[in-house]
Amino acid sequence: MKDCLSIFVDESGDFGTYRPHSPYYIVTMLFHDQSYDISSQIQKLDEEMRHFGYEKDFVIHTAPLIRKEGMFFNVSPNQRRALFTKLFYFVMKSDIQYHAFVFEKRQFEDSFKLEGRMAKEMALFIRSNLSFFQSFRNVILYYDNGQYELNRILNAVLTTEIPQYEARIILPKDYKLFQAADLICTLQLLSLKAERGELSHSELLLFHSVRDLKKQFLKPIRKKLFA
């Protein structure tokens, strides 16, 4: 039996009613078998961030980075793309996997229906892969409690399906894998928007074209998909 599985969770979207600017709710579960050491990848990413002039606890929030918001307001498109790419390469070189749950909010009458579907799909995913989760002595959920509803769903599902589970509240600056989950959420959203021709000016400015986005980011990230 393996020792410990880390599950880092992040989300994109909210539980509000459907609105054109917020049509999806996406949840990413990122899995790391702690027997696989990724400290060298973390150290390399820290070194690369220092090269850009950022401290060790710098957090790459991919959505505001793309939209040029907050601390990224005065950062050039080339540097913002470079930051995104460095985090992407960290994900690709680390021994991790992910599964993303995507929900189109217009399909649900209210947030309660959305929550119910989320819980059902997460529970079904775990049951379908129960031998994997049961192969670990411990399973630890890492989440920043960013949204109360999601936190409630996660704890209800995992408590029911995985007896050896425990939860920890974290700060994004303390875990590169939480930032990795954020990046995957963003890529899932970009994939949906690219397929529907909905990429914004800011997104096209950073990724140049739909073709480049798919070739350089969307297609490679699927290699990390939980099979």
CATH number of the CATH domain containing 70:
3.30.420.10
List, for residues 78-128, the tens digit of each pLDDT value: 999 999 999 999 999 999 999 999 999 889 888 899 999 999 999 999 999
Residue 57: phi, psi to the nearest 5? -90, 15
Quick one: tokens of 147? 């949204």
List, for residues 30-52, the tens digit of each pLDDT value: 999 999 999 999 999 999 999 99
* Max CA distance (Å), the chain: 49
Residue 171: phi, psi to the nearest 5? -110, 135
Quick one: average pLDDT of 159-170? Answer: 91
Identify the domain containing residue 182 by its residue range. Answer: 2-224
- Matching residue, tokens 């393996």: 2
**pTM greater than the 0.75 cutoff:** yes
Domains in the chain, number: 1
